[in-house]
Amino acid sequence: MTAGVKWRDRVVRSVAGMALCAATMVAAIAVQPAGALVASTKNVAVNSYRLSGAVSGTLLDGPNAGCPYGGINNGGFVELNDLVGSVSGISGVASWSLDVTVKKNGTYSFQSLTGRTPTAILSVDLKGKNITKSIEKGVQDNFFAHGGTVTVKGEAGSINASMSQIGGKTLKIVARWDCGAPAAQAAVSGHGWKLATLVASNKEGSGPGIATHTADFSSVSCPTTGFCAAVDDTGDAFTWNGKVWSKGVDIDSTAESNMNDQLASISCASSSFCIAGDDLSDVYTFNGSTWSAGDQLNPSDSSASVSFSVSCPTTSFCMAVDGNVNYYTYNGTSWSQSQVINSSTLNPTTIGEVSCANPIFCEAVYNDQSVTYNGSAWSTPQTLSLPPGSKSGSNPEVSVVSCPAATFCAVGGTTGANVAYLNTFNGTSWSKGLALTTNLGPQSFAALSCPTPSFCMAGGLDGWVTYNGASWSKPQTFANAGGPVGTGPLYANSISCPSMRFCQEVEANGYADSWTG
């Protein structure tokens, strides 16, 4: 997991803890009768939220509103985010969100903050540049349901409840939502990124919120627009059939208990052939329906390599590299013995990545060095160029490479100090490189996919860019439609684009998202 993801995960976990503490504090408050509720939910329009009492007004879907969790169809937790409107009672509000937990379809009564389902929290996101302080302050203004009812049916629901704040203020909420309604689906219609979906399994308990969803996706591969496969750091593999993701299959049983033995890479040449590999150089083969047992390519590896990467341009050829500058080839039947890439001139570093356009062209990148494979041997290393104006010593640190042709590759990474880095290769030499210095958008790139030399999609912290064959686009932010802080997608760990019109990305905390162009 990257430093950015870890930081965001810590923020979310801290906030989740504060919310639980807040609920306990509210439970101690002598809740005053709120009187009759303002209206029946039948009189409220879909995807509108009427408030009265200490906070008064009507909230509606904002420009980035969505349903990042699927209600009953996704563990019973739904977050209705980016709710905006003219509301009095609390100043400096950027947006609101309503979190509801109900395990089964039906109508249920809220108890007096027992901690049991159903639960509902109306959260406040205050304006402010410091996201941690803004969230912490907003938690103090959150309201917790202690009376009334909630009804859930699949992706839709309604609430008619009394809610209390830590400081004793109360409000009444009457609302309806439907994640299949046009208003809620506005963020996922047409072109662009869709709503992130929670896919990876939760192996550390159950309950609402991101704090319990700890599986992080590490890699995704989509050979067609109707099939993708992905792996996470707990040893699970998932497949996508063009509409929905499968449940996880545990293919690497030691990954969850051994942090040094985690699935790091996957490559699919077709929907019936994928290779996944972990940091101990174990590989697992998918035949379209089942996964094989692990095959350790380098039995002498007793401790994990710093990285492992695999690329399969065809079903009869794969190339794998590890962080110890070893490489392995697959001929459609078996893997070769471990061999070393230019041990005298190529320095082992923290990351080794590889991408193959065909069996006679692969490019492997180790931080700021790259080597080319011609079908039988590797070239001498080249050093990637510093972007124009870069300070001495800010060498690029490449995290990902993609080569759709022998005459084109692209890489993404960082030059440090939150400066995102991109570069392209023409089959012979690298360009000067590009640095993106922006406070809003990608500050590093961990995900990149180029289905053709005229299109690439690169994703990183908070944003993404595309390549049109000649230049990179301006950085764009991901739609804030994917759940709590740290998801959304806010940080893409891996992207795969089988065409110029479709990409799939996976990220930390088990989320996946798709893009259509």
Render pLDDT for 305-315 as a digit per residue (tens, 0 to 9): 568 999 999 99
Mean pLDDT to the nearest integer, 93-122: 82
pLDDT exceeds cutoff 80 at 287:
yes
What own/partner pairs with CB < 8 Å and gap ≥ 24 does 383-389 have? 384/411, 384/423, 384/430, 384/433, 385/423, 385/430, 385/431, 385/432, 385/433, 386/415, 386/433, 387/415, 387/421, 387/432, 387/433, 387/434, 387/435, 388/432, 388/433, 389/435
121 vs 260 pLDDT, higher one: 121
41 vs 501 pLDDT, higher one: 501
The band of 5, judged by pLDDT with boundaries at 50, 70 and 90, is very low
Helices and strands in the chain, H and E counts: 2, 39
The CATH classification number of 190-516 equals 2.130.10.10
The per-residue pLDDT for range 59-70, each reduced to its tens digit, is 987 765 655 444
pLDDT given for residue 109 in this prediction? 92
pLDDT exceeds cutoff 80 at 431:
yes
346 vs 27 pLDDT, higher one: 346
Contact 211, 504 (CB under 8 A): no
Q: Give the whole-angstrom CA distance, residue 41 versus residue 49.
A: 10
Which of 225-234, 292-301, 409-418, 429-438 has the highest average model confidence (pLDDT)?
Answer: 225-234
The band of 483, judged by pLDDT with boundaries at 50, 70 and 90, is very low
Residue 180: CB atoms within 10 Å: 12
Could you tell me the residue ranges of all domains in the chain? Answer: 3-187, 190-516
pLDDT given for residue 99 in this prediction? 85
DSSP conformation class of 75:
T
The C-alpha angle with vertex 216 and arms to 213 and 222, in degrees rounded to 5, equals 125
The residue type at 485: V
DSSP conformation class of 210:
G
Cross-strand bridge partners of residue 283: 277, 295
pLDDT exceeds cutoff 60 at 24:
no
Q: Give the whole-angstrom CA distance, residue 478 versus residue 482.
A: 9
The band of 211, judged by pLDDT with boundaries at 50, 70 and 90, is very low
Residues 6+ apart with CB under 8 A from 351: 306, 307, 323, 366, 367, 397, 398, 399
Least confident residue range of 85-94, 248-257, 372-381:
248-257
Q: Give the whole-angstrom CA distance, residue 380 versus residue 97.
A: 55
E strand residue ranges, 307-453:
308-314, 317-322, 326-330, 339-340, 353-358, 361-366, 369-373, 382-383, 397-405, 408-414, 420-425, 434-436, 445-452
Cross-strand bridge partners of residue 507: 492
DSSP conformation class of 267:
E
pLDDT exceeds cutoff 80 at 136:
no
pLDDT given for residue 209 in this prediction? 38
pLDDT given for residue 488 in this prediction? 40
pLDDT exceeds cutoff 60 at 189:
no
With residue 135 as reference, give the H or E element that holds it.
helix 131-140
Mean pLDDT to the nearest integer, 365-375: 92
Q: Which residue is listed with tokens 């994990």?
A: 304
Closest CA relative to residue 23, chosen from 130, 129, 165, 148: 165
Contact 266, 237 (CB under 8 A): yes
Mean pLDDT to the nearest integer, 256-267: 78
The band of 490, judged by pLDDT with boundaries at 50, 70 and 90, is low
Tokens representing 31 are 């809740």
The per-residue pLDDT for range 161-174, each reduced to its tens digit, is 999 988 889 999 99
Contact 488, 464 (CB under 8 A): no
Q: Give the whole-angstrom CA distance, residue 208 versus residue 486.
A: 15
| pTM for the structure as a whole | 0.65
Closest CA relative to residue 224, chosen from 147, 288, 134, 132: 288
pLDDT given for residue 390 in this prediction? 72
